[in-house]
Amino acid sequence: MVMLKLPHEDGSLYAYTMRTQSEGSYAGIAGITGKPLKSRIAFSAAHVVCDPLANTDPLANAQVDWHATLAYRRYLWSLGLSVAEAMDTAQRGMGLGWETSKELIQRSVAEARAVGGHIACGAGTDHLIPCSQITLASIEQAYEEQCAFVQRQGGQIILMASRALARSAKGPDDYERVYGLILRQVSQPVILHWLGDMFDPALKGYWGHDSLEQAMEVCLRIIRTHADKIDGIKISLLDADKEIAMRRLLPQNVRMYTGDDFNYPTLIAGDEQGCSHALLGIFDAIAPAAAAAIQALDEGDLTRYSQLLEKTVPLARHIFQKPTSSYKTGIVFMAYLNGHQAHFRMIAGAESSRSVIHLARIFTLADQAGLLIDPEEAAKRMQHVLLLSGIH
């Protein structure tokens, strides 16, 4: 039996005995075929692995370990999942700049082509230099540049929310102008991306309104006007009722991709009036369980689907707790525990964004959900992290 000393929320220590005792009991998900999933499109937004041995400033100039980063994408594709590339899960705009994002997109699209994987890539305006004089025209040019790059590589565009537009727009008309111009130019349908300010405070008031109901009206107006250029919209508002309300108002050909890392099991399962597909950061951390659950849905086994996904929700809610923007730390920590990377370091030093108490809770929740591939190895890795905080 594996036992560790872990910290309580008050800093005191307690003895934790792992529930998952041996390799092979991993979430009860043996039998994943890796075949394309049928009933839902399921994107996992994917994290990047930094190079901890690069002799550069880890805050301002962190380097990517391309081998480990691409290997993780091959792992996601092997499960039948799709990859959402260069998104906020990859620390886009939070350590991952546009120049490195270009290389990431180029390499990942080529890798997807080689293995037959499905990929979509984030295009935004994050290479603009922040200043008070950013014009709508410069925002449009920035979107055009990034969209053109993704299209040249052969990737589907995820049209990311723009901090510059949120800062510069005077109202809903400016959003309709910018999005209209870009959507008229794209060569294939894109996925729109509405990221709530709980994920990125700089996006507060997106679509020209603080009220989510009014913002939704603007967004729906843009979607209806350009429905032939829109595959779907991914919304991350952590509000299931609002997602369902919007889902029911979408044109018939436009998909809803849930980005709700709190309520994804019920949103993906859907109701008599429709369902959400998935574009989720949490799928990076629970990839085998997510793939097995969608596979169960493909087979009409809603009971098994619910059993597999519901047990992951406590972990997801913990990883995405406030400040939600720090969720990437938990995602990478899960990859470290499960042996997908040899270290727990992140670009921009983001491994320090969560406390050791928070990380210890991730460990116990992952164990209780059966999400640790090799429990003994995960325990050793957890012990390394504890030692750095003086816990022996």
In whole angstroms, what is the distance from residue 257 CA to residue 109 CA? Answer: 21
Residue 23 is predicted with a pLDDT of 47
**Average pLDDT taken over every residue of the chain:** 95
Confidence of residue 392 (pLDDT cuts 50, 70, 90): confident
Residue 26 is predicted with a pLDDT of 57
Please, which residues have CB within 8 angstroms of residue 355's CB and are 6 or more apart in sequence? Answer: none
Segment 346-353 shows an average pLDDT of: 96
Contact status, residue 183 vs residue 226, Cβ threshold 8 Å:
yes
Give the model confidence (pLDDT) of 228-264 as tens digits: 999 999 999 999 999 999 999 999 999 999 999 999 9
Helix (H, G, I), strand (E, B) or coil at 383: helix
Contact status, residue 86 vs residue 92, Cβ threshold 8 Å:
yes
Segment 350-362 shows an average pLDDT of: 98
Contact status, residue 79 vs residue 34, Cβ threshold 8 Å:
yes
In whole angstroms, what is the distance from residue 321 CA to residue 262 CA? Answer: 10
Helix (H, G, I), strand (E, B) or coil at 331: helix
Residue 20 is predicted with a pLDDT of 66
Contact status, residue 231 vs residue 279, Cβ threshold 8 Å:
no
Give the model confidence (pLDDT) of 14-71 as tens digits: 999 998 655 445 555 666 777 889 999 999 999 999 999 999 998 889 899 999 999 9
In whole angstroms, what is the distance from residue 125 CA to residue 147 CA? Answer: 10
Segment 256-281 shows an average pLDDT of: 97
Question: Is residue 103 over pLDDT 50?
Answer: yes
In whole angstroms, what is the distance from residue 224 CA to residue 148 CA? Answer: 23
Residue 132 is predicted with a pLDDT of 67
Q: Omega before 323 cis (within 30°)?
A: yes
Give the model confidence (pLDDT) of 136-150 as tens digits: 999 999 999 999 999
Contact status, residue 18 vs residue 375, Cβ threshold 8 Å:
yes
